[in-house]
Amino acid sequence: MSADIGSLSEKLDGAARAARATPQISHEVALSMHEAYAVQAASIARRLARGERRVGMKMGFTSRAKMLQMGLSDVIWGRLTDGMLVEDGGSTPFGRYVHPRVEPEVAFLMGKRLEGRVTPMQALDAVAAVGPALELIDSRYENFKFSLSDVVADNSSSSGFVIGPWRAASTEIDNLGLILSIDGRPQALGSTAAILGHPLRSLVAAARLVAESGEALEPGSIVLAGGATAALALVPGQYVSLEMQSLGRVAFSVEA
Ligand code: OOG
Ligand code: MG
Protein backbone atom coordinates (compact mmCIF):
# COMPACT_ATOMS: atom_id res chain seq x y z
CA MET A 1 0.00 0.00 0.00
CA SER A 2 1.38 3.44 -0.85
CA ALA A 3 1.13 6.37 1.55
CA ASP A 4 -1.90 8.63 1.36
CA ILE A 5 -0.48 11.79 2.95
CA GLY A 6 -3.88 13.49 3.22
CA SER A 7 -5.71 10.68 5.00
CA LEU A 8 -2.77 9.94 7.32
CA SER A 9 -2.60 13.61 8.33
CA GLU A 10 -6.36 13.57 8.93
CA LYS A 11 -6.03 10.50 11.14
CA LEU A 12 -3.26 12.03 13.28
CA ASP A 13 -4.91 15.44 13.50
CA GLY A 14 -8.17 13.73 14.46
CA ALA A 15 -6.42 11.67 17.15
CA ALA A 16 -4.86 14.83 18.59
CA ARG A 17 -8.19 16.70 18.59
CA ALA A 18 -10.10 13.85 20.18
CA ALA A 19 -7.20 13.00 22.56
CA ARG A 20 -7.61 9.39 21.52
CA ALA A 21 -4.72 7.09 20.59
CA THR A 22 -4.39 5.73 17.06
CA PRO A 23 -2.43 2.66 15.82
CA GLN A 24 1.10 3.20 14.50
CA ILE A 25 1.20 4.04 10.79
CA SER A 26 4.26 1.80 10.35
CA HIS A 27 2.13 -1.25 11.20
CA GLU A 28 0.32 -0.67 7.91
CA VAL A 29 2.45 1.51 5.63
CA ALA A 30 6.22 2.06 5.45
CA LEU A 31 6.68 5.84 5.21
CA SER A 32 9.96 7.33 3.99
CA MET A 33 11.24 10.21 6.15
CA HIS A 34 10.29 12.55 3.33
CA GLU A 35 6.70 11.24 3.41
CA ALA A 36 6.63 11.39 7.21
CA TYR A 37 7.53 15.10 7.14
CA ALA A 38 4.88 15.62 4.44
CA VAL A 39 2.25 14.04 6.75
CA GLN A 40 3.45 16.32 9.57
CA ALA A 41 3.21 19.43 7.36
CA ALA A 42 -0.28 18.41 6.19
CA SER A 43 -1.53 17.80 9.71
CA ILE A 44 -0.19 21.19 10.85
CA ALA A 45 -1.83 22.80 7.79
CA ARG A 46 -5.16 21.52 9.17
CA ARG A 47 -4.50 23.33 12.45
CA LEU A 48 -3.58 26.53 10.59
CA ALA A 49 -6.77 26.22 8.52
CA ARG A 50 -8.71 26.20 11.82
CA GLY A 51 -7.11 29.52 12.76
CA GLU A 52 -3.97 28.52 14.66
CA ARG A 53 -0.79 30.42 13.94
CA ARG A 54 2.68 28.97 13.39
CA VAL A 55 5.07 30.22 16.11
CA GLY A 56 8.18 28.08 15.75
CA MET A 57 9.67 24.62 15.82
CA LYS A 58 10.94 22.00 18.26
CA MET A 59 13.91 19.69 18.03
CA GLY A 60 13.73 16.07 19.16
CA PHE A 61 16.23 13.42 20.23
CA THR A 62 19.05 15.91 20.77
CA SER A 63 20.06 14.26 24.06
CA ARG A 64 21.19 10.73 24.89
CA ALA A 65 18.63 10.58 27.70
CA LYS A 66 15.79 11.04 25.20
CA MET A 67 17.31 8.72 22.59
CA LEU A 68 17.69 5.98 25.19
CA GLN A 69 14.19 6.49 26.60
CA MET A 70 12.53 6.14 23.19
CA GLY A 71 15.05 3.82 21.51
CA LEU A 72 15.59 6.13 18.51
CA SER A 73 18.73 8.05 17.65
CA ASP A 74 18.13 10.42 14.72
CA VAL A 75 17.55 14.10 15.41
CA ILE A 76 14.02 15.09 14.31
CA TRP A 77 11.88 18.22 14.40
CA GLY A 78 8.28 19.34 14.70
CA ARG A 79 6.18 22.45 14.22
CA LEU A 80 4.80 24.67 17.02
CA THR A 81 1.55 26.66 16.82
CA ASP A 82 0.06 29.22 19.19
CA GLY A 83 -2.61 26.66 20.08
CA MET A 84 0.08 24.61 21.83
CA LEU A 85 1.28 27.47 24.02
CA VAL A 86 0.59 27.13 27.75
CA GLU A 87 1.14 30.32 29.74
CA ASP A 88 4.01 30.32 32.25
CA GLY A 89 2.38 29.73 35.65
CA GLY A 90 -0.87 28.77 33.94
CA SER A 91 -2.62 25.46 33.54
CA THR A 92 -3.60 23.01 30.84
CA PRO A 93 -6.47 20.49 30.98
CA PHE A 94 -5.39 16.85 31.28
CA GLY A 95 -8.31 15.89 29.05
CA ARG A 96 -6.65 17.60 26.09
CA TYR A 97 -3.99 14.88 25.95
CA VAL A 98 -3.78 11.12 25.37
CA HIS A 99 -0.88 10.31 27.75
CA PRO A 100 1.15 13.48 28.24
CA ARG A 101 4.74 13.68 29.41
CA VAL A 102 6.88 16.68 30.28
CA GLU A 103 10.56 17.38 29.65
CA PRO A 104 12.96 20.24 30.44
CA GLU A 105 14.19 22.25 27.45
CA VAL A 106 15.94 25.48 26.46
CA ALA A 107 14.08 27.89 24.17
CA PHE A 108 15.59 30.31 21.66
CA LEU A 109 13.76 33.41 20.43
CA MET A 110 14.99 34.26 16.95
CA GLY A 111 15.97 37.85 16.20
CA LYS A 112 17.14 37.24 12.62
CA ARG A 113 16.23 34.78 9.88
CA LEU A 114 18.38 31.64 9.91
CA GLU A 115 18.39 28.71 7.50
CA GLY A 116 20.65 26.15 5.91
CA ARG A 117 24.24 25.41 6.88
CA VAL A 118 25.36 27.87 9.52
CA THR A 119 28.16 28.04 12.06
CA PRO A 120 27.47 28.19 15.82
CA MET A 121 28.58 31.87 15.71
CA GLN A 122 26.09 32.68 12.94
CA ALA A 123 23.38 30.83 14.87
CA LEU A 124 24.13 32.77 18.06
CA ASP A 125 24.11 36.04 16.13
CA ALA A 126 20.54 35.28 14.99
CA VAL A 127 19.28 34.72 18.56
CA ALA A 128 17.36 37.55 20.28
CA ALA A 129 16.87 35.82 23.65
CA VAL A 130 17.06 32.50 25.51
CA GLY A 131 14.76 31.07 28.16
CA PRO A 132 13.93 28.01 30.25
CA ALA A 133 11.13 25.92 28.76
CA LEU A 134 8.97 22.87 29.39
CA GLU A 135 7.69 20.76 26.55
CA LEU A 136 4.51 18.69 26.84
CA ILE A 137 4.89 15.74 24.53
CA ASP A 138 1.95 13.48 23.80
CA SER A 139 2.30 10.72 21.24
CA ARG A 140 -0.93 10.14 19.38
CA TYR A 141 0.08 6.47 19.08
CA GLU A 142 -1.06 3.68 21.37
CA ASN A 143 1.22 3.06 24.37
CA PHE A 144 3.51 5.98 23.35
CA LYS A 145 5.28 3.56 20.95
CA PHE A 146 6.47 4.50 17.48
CA SER A 147 9.09 4.17 14.74
CA LEU A 148 11.10 7.19 13.60
CA SER A 149 8.79 7.84 10.63
CA ASP A 150 5.72 7.40 12.89
CA VAL A 151 6.87 10.04 15.37
CA VAL A 152 7.90 12.50 12.65
CA ALA A 153 4.46 12.16 11.01
CA ASP A 154 2.95 12.81 14.46
CA ASN A 155 4.67 16.22 14.70
CA SER A 156 7.46 14.67 16.80
CA SER A 157 4.96 14.18 19.67
CA SER A 158 4.70 17.94 20.19
CA SER A 159 1.53 19.01 21.90
CA GLY A 160 2.32 21.85 24.27
CA PHE A 161 5.07 24.12 25.53
CA VAL A 162 5.65 26.66 28.29
CA ILE A 163 8.33 29.35 28.16
CA GLY A 164 9.82 31.15 31.15
CA PRO A 165 11.34 34.65 31.25
CA TRP A 166 13.54 35.59 28.29
CA ARG A 167 17.18 36.48 29.04
CA ALA A 168 19.87 38.12 26.92
CA ALA A 169 21.16 36.03 24.03
CA SER A 170 24.65 36.53 25.50
CA THR A 171 23.73 34.37 28.55
CA GLU A 172 26.04 31.32 28.74
CA ILE A 173 23.85 28.25 28.19
CA ASP A 174 26.35 25.46 27.57
CA ASN A 175 26.31 23.75 30.98
CA LEU A 176 23.45 24.96 33.14
CA GLY A 177 22.23 22.78 35.98
CA LEU A 178 18.50 22.07 35.99
CA ILE A 179 15.92 20.59 38.35
CA LEU A 180 12.56 19.36 37.10
CA SER A 181 10.09 19.10 39.99
CA ILE A 182 6.59 17.73 40.35
CA ASP A 183 4.55 19.18 43.22
CA GLY A 184 7.74 20.76 44.56
CA ARG A 185 9.68 17.49 44.71
CA PRO A 186 12.71 17.13 42.39
CA GLN A 187 12.13 14.28 39.91
CA ALA A 188 14.90 14.79 37.38
CA LEU A 189 18.27 16.55 37.53
CA GLY A 190 20.36 17.39 34.53
CA SER A 191 22.40 19.87 32.54
CA THR A 192 21.85 21.75 29.29
CA ALA A 193 25.14 20.13 28.17
CA ALA A 194 23.05 16.99 27.59
CA ILE A 195 21.61 18.76 24.51
CA LEU A 196 24.18 17.85 21.84
CA GLY A 197 26.95 19.01 24.20
CA HIS A 198 25.67 22.61 23.81
CA PRO A 199 22.10 23.75 23.00
CA LEU A 200 23.49 26.04 20.30
CA ARG A 201 24.36 22.91 18.28
CA SER A 202 20.66 22.08 18.30
CA LEU A 203 19.94 25.51 16.79
CA VAL A 204 22.56 24.88 14.09
CA ALA A 205 20.87 21.54 13.30
CA ALA A 206 17.42 23.22 13.37
CA ALA A 207 18.47 25.73 10.70
CA ARG A 208 19.68 22.89 8.46
CA LEU A 209 16.63 20.66 9.02
CA VAL A 210 13.97 23.30 8.33
CA ALA A 211 15.82 24.31 5.15
CA GLU A 212 15.46 20.70 3.92
CA SER A 213 11.69 21.31 4.05
CA GLY A 214 12.01 24.71 2.31
CA GLU A 215 11.53 26.66 5.55
CA ALA A 216 13.61 29.05 7.64
CA LEU A 217 13.77 29.98 11.32
CA GLU A 218 11.97 33.31 11.10
CA PRO A 219 12.56 36.41 13.28
CA GLY A 220 10.17 36.31 16.25
CA SER A 221 9.83 32.52 16.13
CA ILE A 222 10.69 30.07 18.88
CA VAL A 223 13.02 27.07 18.71
CA LEU A 224 12.90 24.42 21.44
CA ALA A 225 16.32 22.76 21.62
CA GLY A 226 15.14 19.32 22.85
CA GLY A 227 14.69 17.54 26.17
CA ALA A 228 17.74 17.46 28.45
CA THR A 229 16.47 14.53 30.57
CA ALA A 230 14.07 11.64 30.01
CA ALA A 231 10.44 12.79 29.94
CA LEU A 232 8.14 12.29 32.97
CA ALA A 233 4.57 10.99 32.65
CA LEU A 234 1.94 13.46 33.88
CA VAL A 235 -1.24 12.85 35.87
CA PRO A 236 -4.11 15.27 36.59
CA GLY A 237 -3.55 17.80 39.36
CA GLN A 238 0.24 17.98 39.17
CA TYR A 239 2.24 21.18 39.47
CA VAL A 240 5.32 21.02 37.25
CA SER A 241 8.25 23.41 37.65
CA LEU A 242 11.69 23.73 36.13
CA GLU A 243 14.54 25.63 37.76
CA MET A 244 17.41 26.32 35.41
CA GLN A 245 20.70 27.86 36.51
CA SER A 246 21.08 31.46 35.17
CA LEU A 247 17.78 31.22 33.23
CA GLY A 248 15.34 30.92 36.12
CA ARG A 249 11.99 29.24 36.52
CA VAL A 250 9.08 28.12 34.40
CA ALA A 251 6.01 26.24 35.67
CA PHE A 252 2.49 25.07 34.89
CA SER A 253 -0.27 22.91 36.37
CA VAL A 254 -2.12 19.98 34.92
CA GLU A 255 -5.85 20.58 35.46
CA ALA A 256 -7.77 17.63 36.79
C1 OOG B 1 9.54 12.39 20.57
C2 OOG B 1 9.89 13.85 20.78
C3 OOG B 1 11.29 14.05 21.30
C4 OOG B 1 12.79 15.71 22.52
O5 OOG B 1 12.87 16.77 23.14
O6 OOG B 1 13.74 14.93 22.42
C7 OOG B 1 11.48 15.38 21.91
C8 OOG B 1 9.11 11.70 21.85
O9 OOG B 1 9.95 11.46 22.71
O10 OOG B 1 7.92 11.38 21.96
O11 OOG B 1 10.61 16.21 21.96
MG1 MG C 1 11.08 17.76 23.46
Residues whose CB falls within 8 Å of the CB of residue 39, separated by 6 or more in sequence, listed in order: 3, 5, 8, 9, 12, 25, 31, 152, 153
Say what percent of the chain tops pLDDT 70: 99
User: What are the pocket residues of ligand 1 if the criterion is a CB atom closer than 6 Å to any ligand atom?
Assistant: 58, 60-62, 66, 70, 103, 135, 137, 139, 151, 156-157, 226-227
Question: For position 73, what pLDDT does the model report?
Answer: 87
| Contact yes or no for 240/134 (Cβ under 8 A) | yes
- Between residues 134 and 3, the one the model is more confident about: 134
The average confidence (pLDDT) of the chain is: 97
Over the stretch 54-110, which tens digit does the pLDDT of each residue have? 999 999 999 999 999 999 989 999 999 999 999 999 999 999 999 999 999 999 999
Distance CA 83, CA 50 (A): 10
Distance CA 87, CA 89 (A): 6
What's the pLDDT band for 248 if we cut at 50, 70, 90? very high
**pTM: predicted TM-score of the whole model, two decimal places:** 0.97
CA of 37 to the centre of ligand 2 (A): 17
Over the stretch 24-65, which tens digit does the pLDDT of each residue have? 999 999 999 999 999 999 999 999 999 999 999 999 999 999
Which atom belonging to ligand 1 lies closest to the Cα atom of 137?
10
Which of 93, 82, 130, 95 minimizes the C-alpha distance to 110?
Answer: 130
What's the pLDDT band for 3 if we cut at 50, 70, 90? confident
Length of the chain: 256
Q: Say if residue 9's pLDDT is above 80.
A: yes
| Contact yes or no for 169/127 (Cβ under 8 A) | yes
Q: What is the distance of C-alpha 230 from the center of its chain?
A: 13
Helix (H) / strand (E) containing 206:
helix 199-212
* Cα atoms in the 13 Å half-sphere on the side-chain side of 128: 15
Q: Which of 40, 66, 98, 209 is the pocket-test mutation for ligand 1 (most atoms within 8 Å of CB)?
A: 66
Q: Say if residue 116's pLDDT is above 90.
A: yes
Which of 182, 40, 172, 170 minimizes the C-alpha distance to 104?
Answer: 182
Protein residue with least CA distance to atom 4, ligand 1: 60
